[in-house]
A and B are shown apart, each in its own frame.
Chain A
Amino acid sequence: MNLLEIKDLSIHYVTKEGTFKSVNHVNLELEEGETIGLVGETGAGKTTTALGILRLLQSPPAKIVSGEILFKGTDLLKVSEEEMQKIRGNDIAMIFQDPMTALNPIMRVGDQITEVIELHNDCTHEEARKRMRNMLELVGINVERAREFPHQFSGGMKQRVVIAMALACNPHLLIADEPTTALDVTIQAQVLEMMNELKEKLGTSMILITHDLGIVASNCDKVAIMYAGEIVEYGSLEQIFHHISHPYTEGLFNSIPSLDKDVDRLKPIKGLMPDPSALPEGCKFNPRCQYCTEKCRTTEPPLYEIQPGHLVRCLRYGEEGQ
């Protein structure tokens, strides 16, 4: 039975300036211990989906229009707020993008971690502190520094604290929203490697949100490419990397400078992300798609299964395609 199943999830931001359709009919599954990479440009709706899962969206502007999020069989959207609070931090944890502002500046680092432990397991304060100390060891931070404050830590160290906090109650699912974007490359590698070790040891499954295909390659089992709030291509790592099908995925891969080929100009995807409040007709990618046909501008392509487990939202793979 899947750990997490997202069915036909749509999230819109309703404001005075107009309704922004950030997430449209997303479907996702995730098994126990598996890691799925959610890839896409900024504004593709990745973070909104993640926040939707944990119901952390601010209700006045954001509205979950339709869909279900089944976590171990229970639909998180129907669950009461108290129930949801028990899940957050315990069963599902989240790591945010900017470590600089993710920690409470006036609370000791150790206390911030102990807080989540004490919250979810009724253990004595001493036990919680002990678990906090070995979490810090796990993420490679000197235990005496538990009494220090966030402003005394560098960016990388802070991200380790955030990770320690997220994994303190060894959640079943970890949602990492671009965990390493704010870090420089050397620290990035350490942090990712440490996350994988912990994932193995604690058996947590993970949703890794990123726009860096390199990270996806070394960490994820399955990949979902998102564009304008929709999943345009979904499949295993091998299927996505070796059988690029959707034109947008193709564009993504082309815009990465490859080591072996000697190319003097990059080939970025022309145009910009569509304005979520005025999404184009038909296939959302058509204004920027090089294979765009008249049909693409009118009919909305469904997800075609070109190989078992490899889905593509592009009319070229429809019945009449090759």
Chain B
Amino acid sequence: MSRYIIKRLLWMIPVILGVLVIVFTISYFTPGDPAMSMLGTNYTEESYVALREKLGLDKPFLVQLWNYLWGLISRGDLGTSYIGSVPVATEVVHRFPITFKLGIMSVIVTTVIGVPLGILSATKQYSVADYTVTSFALIIAAIPNYVFALLGLLLFAVKLGWLPVSGVDSWKSWVMPVAANSFGFIAVIVRMTRTSMLEVIRSDYIRTARSKGLRERLVIWKHAFPNALIPIVTVIGTQLSFIMAGSIIVETIFSIPGMGTYIMTGINSRDYPIINGTVLLLSLCICGMNLIVDIAYAFIDPRIKAQYESGRKRVKKAKIPGKAVP
């Protein structure tokens, strides 16, 4: 198993390099020029050429790409943002934890609310609970997160005064952003849990478990749920990348100085170092999440674990009985 994890970690390096090269190319070829947005109304021909010279934008594409990658690998230098001439690394150091914290908390909230609701509506299929939960999840999914955020702020912060309007200091200021960021995704988790639970509940080993005299709650949580985990864990894994993207709007509304607002500034003013730096961090995060999800597969389903360990092209299902498993 550990061999598999090391292999995956080694694989992360080419992935991240791949991400960087692709993002660098995309931002390079996207119309729009950082030098222009920096000069703004002070634009004059010579100052424009001088600025491109200073920023190294006039060099051919490959040279720029190589300088950036070499700088990153050798000195871990993320480059300096064109606009604010502030090293990206310093900005990212105190912005990334905020977005990461927001992201992880949102994923936890969606899972903690989504999964039990999904199981509830699966076990009591076609009942009152099932329809209310499904429709509630669908309605929440249809409300845009900024409408939800603003109304929530209006109600809880201004009218009732329980929560602060913005800021990141006390735990209270995290309640609304996390809620706004995660409510949109609860529907996805609820429906996916419901579907996979429905498939599992009708299988024979559930009937065997019942015939062993287990209480219904135990049958659901100890036998049915673990078997339904695979698609649920996958969806939770993919939520993180959507949540990170969604956080751009939530961070704007709650004025949270996180990666979301930072990448927006980068994209708005085509500030390549910012875009590359933030995407590097985001991809590290997402690759890490994917790795965790894949490892979770192995813990959930021994058959997949066997497939990882054997690593052979096509695994024959039935092993020769008695052969010791490594």
Which residues of A line the B interface, CB within 8 A?
Answer: 54, 56, 82, 85-90, 93-94, 96, 98, 101-107, 115-116, 119-120, 142, 145, 148-149, 151-154, 157, 162, 165
With A151-B302, A151-B318, A154-B318 given, is the CB distance from A102 to B204 under 8 Å?
A: yes
Measured between alpha carbons, how far is A145 from B319 in the docked complex, in Å?
13
Task: Tell whether, in the assembled complex, residue B211 and residue A56 are in contact, meaning their CB atoms are under 8 Å apart.
Answer: yes
Specify which chain A residues have a CB less than 8 angstroms from the CB of B319 in the assembled complex: 151-152
Measured between alpha carbons, how far is A153 from B300 in the docked complex, in Å?
19
With A89-B212, A94-B211, A152-B321 given, is the CB distance from A106 to B204 under 8 Å?
A: no
Specify which chain B residues have a CB less than 8 angstroms from the CB of A56 in the assembled complex: 207, 210-211
> Which chain A residue shows the least CB distance to B204?
A101
B227 at the A/B interface (Cβ < 8 Å)?
yes
Task: Tell whether, in the assembled complex, residue B213 and residue A88 are in contact, meaning their CB atoms are under 8 Å apart.
Answer: yes
Task: Tell whether, in the assembled complex, residue A89 and residue B211 are in contact, meaning their CB atoms are under 8 Å apart.
Answer: yes
Specify which chain B residues have a CB less than 8 angstroms from the CB of A116 in the assembled complex: 212-213
Measured between alpha carbons, how far is A142 from B324 in the docked complex, in Å?
12
**12 pairs across A/B with beta carbons < 8 Å?**
A54-B211, A56-B210, A85-B213, A89-B212, A90-B213, A93-B211, A93-B212, A102-B204, A116-B212, A145-B321, A151-B302, A154-B321
With A85-B213, A88-B213 given, is the CB distance from A96 to B302 under 8 Å?
A: no
> Which chain B residue shows the least CB distance to A101?
B204
B317 at the A/B interface (Cβ < 8 Å)?
yes
Measured between alpha carbons, how far is A142 from B321 in the docked complex, in Å?
10
Which of B223, B227, B317, B321 is in CB contact (< 8 Å) with A157? B321
Specify which chain A residues have a CB less than 8 angstroms from the CB of B211 in the assembled complex: 54, 56, 88-89, 93-94, 96
Task: Tell whether, in the assembled complex, residue A148 and residue B325 are in contact, meaning their CB atoms are under 8 Å apart.
Answer: yes
Number of A-B residue pairs, CB cutoff 8 Å, is 84
> Which chain B residue shows the least CB distance to A113?
B212
Task: Tell whether, in the assembled complex, residue B205 and residue A105 are in contact, meaning their CB atoms are under 8 Å apart.
Answer: yes
In addition to A105-B301, A107-B223, A157-B321, 17 A-B residue pairs with Cβ atoms within 8 Å of each other are A85-B214, A90-B213, A93-B211, A96-B204, A96-B208, A101-B204, A102-B205, A105-B302, A106-B301, A115-B214, A116-B212, A116-B213, A142-B322, A151-B302, A151-B319, A152-B321, A154-B321
Specify which chain B residues have a CB less than 8 angstroms from the CB of A151 in the assembled complex: 302-303, 306, 317-319
Measured between alpha carbons, how far is A107 from B208 in the docked complex, in Å?
13
B3 to chain A, nearest CB (A): 20
B226 at the A/B interface (Cβ < 8 Å)?
yes
Specify which chain B residues have a CB less than 8 angstroms from the CB of A89 in the assembled complex: 211-214
Which of A87, A103, A119, A149 is in CB contact (< 8 Å) with B302? A149
> Which chain B residue shows the least CB distance to A148?
B325
Specify which chain B residues have a CB less than 8 angstroms from the CB of A152 in the assembled complex: 318-319, 321, 325
B203 at the A/B interface (Cβ < 8 Å)?
yes
A147 to chain B, nearest CB (A): 9
Interface hub of B203, B301, B302 (most chain A Cβ within 10 A): B302
B69 at the A/B interface (Cβ < 8 Å)?
no
Measured between alpha carbons, how far is A103 from B223 in the docked complex, in Å?
10
B200 to chain A, nearest CB (A): 10
Specify which chain A residues have a CB less than 8 angstroms from the CB of B223 in the assembled complex: 104, 107
Measured between alpha carbons, how far is A87 from B226 in the docked complex, in Å?
26
Interface hub of B215, B227, B318, B321 (most chain A Cβ within 10 A): B321
Specify which chain B residues have a CB less than 8 angstroms from the CB of A90 in the assembled complex: 213
B209 at the A/B interface (Cβ < 8 Å)?
yes
> Which chain A residue shows the least CB distance to B125?
A60
Instruction: Find residues 293-326 in chain B having any chain A CB closer than 8 Å to their own CB.
Output: 300-303, 306, 317-319, 321-322, 325
Task: Tell whether, in the assembled complex, residue A102 and residue B213 are in contact, meaning their CB atoms are under 8 Å apart.
Answer: no
> Which chain B residue shows the least CB distance to A98?
B204
Measured between alpha carbons, how far is A93 from B210 in the docked complex, in Å?
11
Measured between alpha carbons, how far is A153 from B203 in the docked complex, in Å?
19
Which of B209, B215, B317, B322 is in CB contact (< 8 Å) with A104? B209
Specify which chain B residues have a CB less than 8 angstroms from the CB of A148 in the assembled complex: 325
Measured between alpha carbons, how far is A148 from B319 in the docked complex, in Å?
11
Task: Tell whether, in the assembled complex, residue A86 and residue B318 are in contact, meaning their CB atoms are under 8 Å apart.
Answer: no
A159 to chain B, nearest CB (A): 12
Measured between alpha carbons, how far is A54 from B223 in the docked complex, in Å?
19
> Which chain B residue shows the least CB distance to A147?
B325
Task: Tell whether, in the assembled complex, residue B213 and residue A119 are in contact, meaning their CB atoms are under 8 Å apart.
Answer: yes
Measured between alpha carbons, how far is A36 from B214 in the docked complex, in Å?
27
Instruction: Find residues 177-209 in chain B having any chain A CB closer than 8 Å to their own CB.
Output: 203-205, 207-209
B323 to chain A, nearest CB (A): 8
Measured between alpha carbons, how far is A90 from B213 in the docked complex, in Å?
8
B252 to chain A, nearest CB (A): 43
Specify which chain A residues have a CB less than 8 angstroms from the CB of B212 in the assembled complex: 88-89, 93, 115-116, 119, 165
Which of A88, A98, A105 is in CB contact (< 8 Å) with B210? A88
Closest CB pairs A-B (n = 9): A89-B213, A88-B213, A89-B212, A101-B204, A116-B212, A149-B302, A94-B211, A104-B205, A85-B213
> Which chain A residue shows the least CB distance to B226?
A106
Specify which chain A residues have a CB less than 8 angstroms from the CB of B325 in the assembled complex: 148, 152
Which of B213, B302, B322 is in CB contact (< 8 Å) with A106? B302
Measured between alpha carbons, how far is A145 from B213 in the docked complex, in Å?
25
Task: Tell whether, in the assembled complex, residue A96 and residue B227 are in contact, meaning their CB atoms are under 8 Å apart.
Answer: no
